[in-house]
Structure 1
């Protein structure tokens, strides 16, 4: 196969999914095994996502990051991302400072504004204001930018509000994301104070962690990443309709900063991927991805990932609700997926891609990562 060069680095995003037939305990053990596998295959990073009260075993993200770091040797380990709003700046810095104490120079501290964004969106829906601006589907140099999913449908579900309440103290105020990020950067650097009283994170101050900002739109996350000179992760796999505007907003806002060693913008773009020996096999393995996304968007949250051998097909109405995510998933043989990811990197100008690959069978999932690593030309360790 002829390769186009150069190719950007690849990293892995894992949710430690709980699939049908296994327990959360098994999912956690598989996360550690997958991290070792990714390290051996030559992936640059292994990130874990924070989700709560669903069939995902990475909810205690710092704890799992520490366990994965202990089980690996070289690959960078991090969060994708800590949901500020559910954690104080001090607890974040102390947790990641503790991990860094044993695994210095390997830890990525990814930060996201999910909590604040959810609260703002719920307030908008309650007052009758629009959250999602409709726009037509378009193709940009071979990359699909679909119509945005109307998030109002999800926010109207009572379960989401209940989950949010369970993660916060009664009457707690969501911090402004920019302020929370500033606090974290100041705690790490040793410049944090309240009412002229110096406050020092022990451990945490001086930790050799790399701070990242995750975002899905041209809003505050992209701006905060840019103005602080931090690397930015744009979520094509979660919000494909807004990825280009998010990247553009970040690059426009970027300024070198003492908080970061970056002299120019650094963009990572995420993608959902399933790779198998041929297109038909990959399509079969990925056939229950739509069920998983539908469970999320119908308000139930991520349920156990279903077995394609036994799951019924989606109805036309269910498929309509998840169409944007199905059509922007990269599924197929190594050549098919490699071509798609090259298009994603080219159109977004990504400096790195982070891929998430979920299948019901863990062996198929490991092989998906292996086939992609080999086709992309990663160097085994």
Structure 2
């Protein structure tokens, strides 16, 4: 009897060198349709801002478009950066998406700035007395799962229309310990960002499970683990394709975010030892290889973390090679 590891997609609509946002978004739609055919469970759009290499900044709009070209796969945010927005506006946006595509929308929430602190300040336009993440989350839950909120004296009420009582599934996403603990306390599903911060992975997953309390959202803890995946028909080719990922993280360590660059034959010509170690620290959970290698690495990761679901983040310069990587991963997920 065969069993399939649950797989999902995390897509930032990557912009490649010489490409465009329009092409990237079209590739996102193509990827969504293909991965649905290959049995992927979810397709989440990443939210980033002021970044030359990503086209999914207005993720709710892209989510709606992706949902319109798919039929069964769950479509969501990975993650909606709640600190930038009012809970009411988020509830209205995702309430509308849920109304248009019932039973298919996920609302993943994150606390990160979404690129850098300067961009975060422009997005937030922070004012004194602004509520913190926990308070925003509590308000958002009231809009989607309850009957809205009201002023302190009860003289005026606020409702998400559409959105109220749509019960859109809420996820907490994180790369550290705070969101893991909060997700456990609230009984929410938790997604860990192993694709760029694997150092905290085991501690965060344990903390989440230790603090988990059954809730109206979830009866048992549920861990979704995001990891970098680069698969190809030949191991050597997968390693070459992965150099686009290495170059991305190398430039990030230098404070130079850029479009996705073509693969190279030798990374040692581009980085020094210190930079190489810094990049490897961010990417040591990456799954890279041919079908056999990916299968082995995938199963080892599941055995190590006991994750309920794996979300693949794959940024390969060539779109056809990227599609093939997701197809190989789907084949590798069958036990």
Which residue of structure 1 aligns with residue 36 of structure 2? Answer: 39
Cα separation, 2, equivalents of 1:160 and 1:242: 21
8 A contact 1:105–1:208 mirrored in 2: no
Paired with 2:130 and 2:294, the residues of 1 have a C-alpha distance of 40
Give 1:337 deviation, angstroms: 1.2
Deviations 1:225-258 (A, max 9, x none): 1122111001111211101111111111111122
TM-score, normalising length: structure 1: 0.82
Quote the offset at 1:335 in angstroms.
Answer: 1.2
Equivalent residue, structure 1, for 2:166: 207
The 10-residue stretch of structure 1 (29-38 or 292-301) with the greater mean CA deviation from structure 2:
292-301
In structure 2, do the counterparts of structure 1 residues 222 and 309 end up closer, same or farther at CA, with 3 Å as the change threshold? closer
Q: CA deviation at 1:343?
A: 1.3
* CA-CA distance at 1:191 after TM superposition: 4.2
2:322 maps to 1:372: no
Contact 1:237 1:271 in 2 (8 A): yes
Q: 1:69 to 1:172 in 2, by over 3 A?
A: farther
Show the 5 A alignment for 1:6-85: 6-54=3-51, 55-85=53-83
Give the counterpart of 1:286 among 210, 228, 242.
242
Matches within 5 A, 1:236-255: 236-255=194-213
Q: Which residue of 2 aligns with 1:304?
A: 259
Q: Deviations over 1:327-364 (max 9, x none)?
A: 33211001111211111111111111111111100000
Answer whether contact 1:104 1:208 (CA < 8 A) is retained. no
List alignment gaps of at least 5 residues for structure 2. none
Match of 2:223 among 241, 264, 267: 267
Conserved 8 A contact 1:160-1:299: no
**Which portions of structure 1, spanning 4 or more consecutive aligned residues, are displaced by more than 3 angstroms?**
170-175, 309-313
Residue 374 of structure 1: how far off its partner (Å) = 1.8
- TM-aligned CA distance change 1:21 to 1:310, over 3 Å: farther
* Contact 2:244–2:260 (CA under 8 A) maintained in structure 1: yes
- Could you say what the CA RMSD is over the residues aligned between the two structures, in angstroms? 2.0
Matches within 5 A, 1:100-249: 100-115=98-113, 160-169=116-125, 171=127, 175-189=131-145, 190-195=147-152, 196=154, 197-219=156-178, 221-249=179-207
Sort the Cα spacing of 1:174 and 1:268 in 2 relative to 1 into closer, same or farther, 3 A: farther
Once the two structures are overlaid, the 10-residue window that deviates more, 348-357 or 57-66, is: 348-357
Q: CA deviation at 1:170?
A: 5.2
SS at 1:19's partner residue?
A: coil
Give yes or no for contact 1:58–1:64 (8 Å, CA) kept in 2: yes
How many residues are matched? 329
Deviation at 1:71, TM superposition (A): 0.9
Tell me the TM-score normalised to structure 2 length.
0.93
Contact 2:250/2:271 (8 A) holds in 1: no
Deviation at 1:320, TM superposition (A): 2.8
Structure-2 separation of matches of 1:346 and 1:50: 30
Larger mean CA deviation between 49-58 and 167-176 belongs to 167-176
